[in-house]
Amino acid sequence: MQAVEFRAAIENGRLAIPEEFKQLEHKLVRVVLLIEDDQDTFETRDLSNHSAGLVEEWQGAAEDDVWT
């Protein structure tokens, strides 16, 4: 299974697939919707990521290798 991610707005009950994924037409896909809260802004996520970098025990890259 392969995963792709893109942002889209639902309009009239439909999602527009970006041009870069048009080759997936007629493929069977599984769709998972992650709905962004109004409060979940890029600035909030950026601040959260920055704050996580300030915690000394979270700065080691060794654990990151497990997730990549």
Residue 4 lies in a domain: yes
Residue 30 lies in a domain: yes
pTM (2 d.p.): 0.46
If pLDDT is split at 50, 70 and 90, which confidence band does 4 have? confident
Domain hosting 39: range is 1-46
Residue 53 lies in a domain: no
Cα→Cα distances 9→5, 48, 58, 64, 68, Å: 13, 25, 34, 32, 29
6-54 pLDDT tens trace: 888 899 999 899 999 889 899 999 989 888 776 555 555 565 655 656 6
Residue 2 lies in a domain: yes
Q: Which residue has the higher pLDDT, 1 or 11?
A: 11
Residue 41 lies in a domain: yes
Number of domains in the chain: 1
Residue 8 lies in a domain: yes
Residue 37 lies in a domain: yes
- Note the Cα 26 to chain centre separation in Å: 24
Residue 39 lies in a domain: yes
* Polymer length in residues for the chain: 68
